[in-house]
Every structure is written in C-alpha cells, then in structure tokens.
Structure 1
C-alpha cells in the first residue's frame, strides 16, 4: 500500500509539471499540414511525399515479420490492455490515459472523415507498394490511427516516469530513447504499406497532443477520478481478461510473436 501511494503520488507530481504550452509548436505543425491538405487537396498531399514513401516502404518492408509484429502495438485495444498492469499501483496514469484516448479517438475519426486521403495501395496500385499483412485500401489514410495510439500511450507514460534527481543529460537521454521507440513503432505503418509518411508524422504529433491534454485534464478536472477507487478494479480485471483472450486468439490466428518469447 505504501509503495502504491508513493508511486502514484510521484506520477501526480510529475503530471503537475506538464504545461499546456508543451503542445504549441506541435500544434502549429499540425495546423500547417491541415491547411496545406485543405487548400491543395489529397492528390497534392500524397504526391509531394511520393519518393519518401517508396524509399521508406522499400527499406522497412525488408523486415516483414518484425514490422508486422511491432505494428500490432499500435492497436488501441492491445495497447490499453497491456497497460492494465499500471492500474493497481499508479491509477493516475489511467485517469490521464482514458481522457487522452477519447481525445485521440476524436482526432482520428474526425480527420479521417473530413479528409478523403487515399491509402498508398489505393493511390499507387497494389503492384507498386510492398504490403505486409492486410491490404488496406480506401480513403482514410490521414492521419495514422496506430501512430496516434502509440504516441498517446508513450506521452502519458513518458511524463509519468520522468527520472527524479538525475542530471539534465540523463533526462534528455530518457526522452530521446522513448521518442526513438515511438518512431520505430509508428513507422511500421509505412513499412506495411498502410500509410504515407506525413500520415504517420501528424498521427504521432496528435498522439502527443492527446497525451498532454489527458494529463492536464487528469490534474485539473479529474474526470475519471473513480479509477483510483478499488470499486473500479472488477471493470479493469474484465478488461485485462478480455485482452488476454483477444491476444491469444490473435497470436494463434496470425502467428504473431510480439507477445511471446520464442
């Protein structure tokens, strides 16, 4: 119990240091891309990144098994289920994560519905794209939902566990390592042929913004304060058990190794 209170209080202290200004520059980047997409249209948006897409898709698809397994971590259900472990000791993380997830869902669904950006296979043709796993077609490429999920989760965790009493160099290294992990996971969406590079870039930024909004909301408003109550544990136990069943079926059906040790 003492460890739980200490860990959760440390997360709360870390979260109180997060400022709304942290999203200013990222938000400007998102706005700039959205303005370009709105005025120039989906065709121009895709065309200007054509060479970058083909280069990244060709290079990343050389590791199909790795890319396919890693990209599963961007599945919202899988990501949230894996975080069930934090409920008992740091429920504040879940308070922030629930708000952040709702915000990220609005970003993803709203922009996908508003901008009919063709997926790589739809735009270039199946013969011109290296596809790993499911062939995704249609006009819902912008932004990458997996990238949003990845960076939403990473942002909430990143600010929760900022190293204490360490040098600035150590803290910078901590942020850079997590950023690298996020980039590796997010760019799998290009490697499997599901998204254009800018879809992933904007998705990642929106995930970061969603995470910050979730953190700020958990500090100021406590919209999901009930998460800290022991009465919520049965709900999360069901979530965890459901995730175990879901991942077990997924592993068996798709021969995934990302959740196993062999």
Structure 2
C-alpha cells in the first residue's frame, strides 16, 4: 500500500512537471522571432552594403581584427574554453538534459524536432556560404587554436552555437518562472550561459564572431519553431510508460559508449561530466524500472 502511494505520488510529480512545460510552451508565440529576424536582417544589410570583392573576403576582413582581439581576450584560460566549447556538441550536451526524457516528454519533443531542423539548416547554410575557417584565412601564429586546426569551408554559421542556443532556448521557455523578477533573472542566466558556450568557439579559434552570433540567432529561432510545432503533439508521451524504459536504457548505453570513446581520445573534464550525467540518469531509470517489476 505504501509503495503504491509512493509510486502514485512520483507519477503525479512527473505529470505536474510535464504540465508546467506544456503550459509554458503554449505561451510561446511567433512574436518572439522579431528580434532574431531584425538581427539577421542587420547582418545581411551590413555585408551587402560593405561588400568589396567576394562575399568571403568581405566577411572575413570586416571582422578579422575583432576575431583576433576576442580570441586573445577569451583564450586566457584555453583549456577551460576548450571544455566549454564542447557543450555545443549534442553528444556532450544532451546527457545533461536526458533526465527530462521521462519527466517531461514535451521538452524532448521540442528538443528532438529542433535538433533535426538545426542539423539540416546548418548543413545547408555551411554549404551555401562556404566560408573558410579562421585557420584557413588568418596566420595561425597570430591567434590561439585549441585542438586540430580546421581549414574546411564550414565556418558560417557555427553549428555548436546553433545547438547550444537551441537547447538553452527550449529550457528557457520550458521552465520560465511566473514572477517578473524571476523571469528576468532566469533569462539573463540562461542567455549568458548560451553566449559563453557560443563565444568559446571564438576563444578556441574555430569560428569568427559573426559565425557565433548568427548561429545563436538561428538556434534561438529554430527552438521557437520546434516548440510551436509540438504544442499540440504528444508523440513522445510513451516514454512515461515504464515498460519502455529498457529502450531508453539501451539508448543511454550506446550514448555512454560514444562519450567514452570521446573521453579516451581527448581525456577532457567535460566528457567526464557528461558521462556522469548519463550514469545518473541511467541509475534513476533503472531504479524506477526495478520498482515497476517489484510492483
């Protein structure tokens, strides 16, 4: 009897959290796209009116000094920035929010939908603009580079910035507080975290400043669309049913293997933290599934 009541209380808490996310997502509207649209239009107009020669040369030369200055300023602690920059990698970032898979399926509906759109959009834009990375255009001895120098023509936009800001934006609106003061504080904290992750790509010498700004802007916009698309859908609701937990455990196990491979290759703190987050989620799910079997 006590176990049954405990399980019901647990389910109610999960349902309440998912309801909070659903209600918050219903408040998200397309007016939130006004600011990102203005930002994108500003950059389009700026490069159109200042273009001298090819777009690539104009794009790089117009922010070369800014890139060098920011890279020098932000790379004071290069190892820290290198770790932070990996939070723009879905493989590393997602484990920190995997705990919500069975607590708030609505959150993950938005994340998975937005991730797919982000992946496609990023690939198309990188191919369309074909802007060379800083290491391919600027003397590598003049700035800090962490990791292997990337000389591919895949600079615009920053995929890491898009991914990080997409997830940050979904979390921002999913758990938006009701009180105005709390809303402001919550928004400032999450947006700051997103910008820190995004500009770490400049710090490690992988992207130009505008790459990250446009990446953040597009990531934010995609997240809004991802939330709106899933407002009336419930295609991940089955994840709250514990008989499907073995499927989630299998996914987490495969994910952990991939993170471990990264860890073995790079041996960085961020991979250990990502792996710990995965293990924590796995333990919680195993515990919940074990209770179901006993019941």
Question: Same fold judged by TM-score > 0.5?
Answer: yes
Q: Give 1:171 shift.
A: 1.1
Partner residue, 1:159: 173
- Greater RCO, CA 8 A, separation 6+: 1
Q: Contact between 1:98 and 1:224, CA under 8 Å: does it hold in 2? A: no
For residues 88-140 of structure 1, the C-alpha deviation after alignment (integer angstroms, 9 at most, x for no partner) is: 11111011111111111122111101001111010113222310112111211
Map residues 133-148 of structure 1 onto 2, 5 A cutoff: 133-148=147-162
Q: Any gaps of 5 or more consecutive residues in structure 1?
A: none
- In 2, the alpha carbon distance for the partners of 1:150 and 1:170 equals 22
Against the structure 1 CA distance between its residues 148 and 156, is the aligned structure 2 distance closer, same or farther, given a 3 Å change threshold? same
Residue 142 of structure 2, aligned match among 107, 125, 128: 128
Q: Contact between 1:8 and 1:89, CA under 8 Å: does it hold in 2? A: yes
- Quote the RMSD (CA, aligned, Å): 2.0
Q: Contact between 2:198 and 2:212, CA under 8 Å: does it hold in 1? A: yes
Against the structure 1 CA distance between its residues 135 and 232, is the aligned structure 2 distance closer, same or farther, given a 3 Å change threshold? farther
Q: Give 1:232 shift.
A: 5.4
Q: Contact between 1:95 and 1:224, CA under 8 Å: does it hold in 2? A: yes
- In 2, the alpha carbon distance for the partners of 1:27 and 1:187 equals 20
1:103 aligns with 2:117: yes
**Partner of 1:187: helix, strand, or coil?**
helix
**Greater Cα offset, 27-36 or 85-94:** 27-36
Q: Contact between 1:217 and 1:223, CA under 8 Å: does it hold in 2? A: no
Against the structure 1 CA distance between its residues 259 and 139, is the aligned structure 2 distance closer, same or farther, given a 3 Å change threshold? closer
Alignment coverage as a number of residue pairs: 259
Q: Contact between 1:218 and 1:224, CA under 8 Å: does it hold in 2? A: no
**Greater Cα offset, 117-126 or 73-82:** 73-82
1:65 aligns with 2:79: yes
For residues 179-215 of structure 1, the C-alpha deviation after alignment (integer angstroms, 9 at most, x for no partner) is: 1111111111001100000000000111111111111
Residue 18 of structure 1, aligned match among 15, 21, 28: 28
For residues 218-262 of structure 1, the C-alpha deviation after alignment (integer angstroms, 9 at most, x for no partner) is: 10445656555556544432222122222222223212012447x
Against the structure 1 CA distance between its residues 233 and 23, is the aligned structure 2 distance closer, same or farther, given a 3 Å change threshold? farther
Scaled by the length of structure 1, the TM-score of the pair is 0.91
**Partner of 1:236: helix, strand, or coil?**
helix
1:219 aligns with 2:231: yes
Map residues 109-120 of structure 1 onto 2, 5 A cutoff: 109-120=123-134
Partner residue, 1:81: 95
1:249 aligns with 2:282: no
Q: Give 1:36 shift.
A: 5.0
- In 2, the alpha carbon distance for the partners of 1:111 and 1:144 equals 10
Deviating beyond 6 angstroms after TM superposition, the runs of 4 or more aligned structure 1 residues are none
- In 1, the alpha carbon distance for the partners of 2:228 and 2:199 equals 28
- For the pair shown, which has the larger CA radius of gyration, 1 or 2? 2
Partner residue, 2:283: none
- In 2, the alpha carbon distance for the partners of 1:18 and 1:233 equals 30
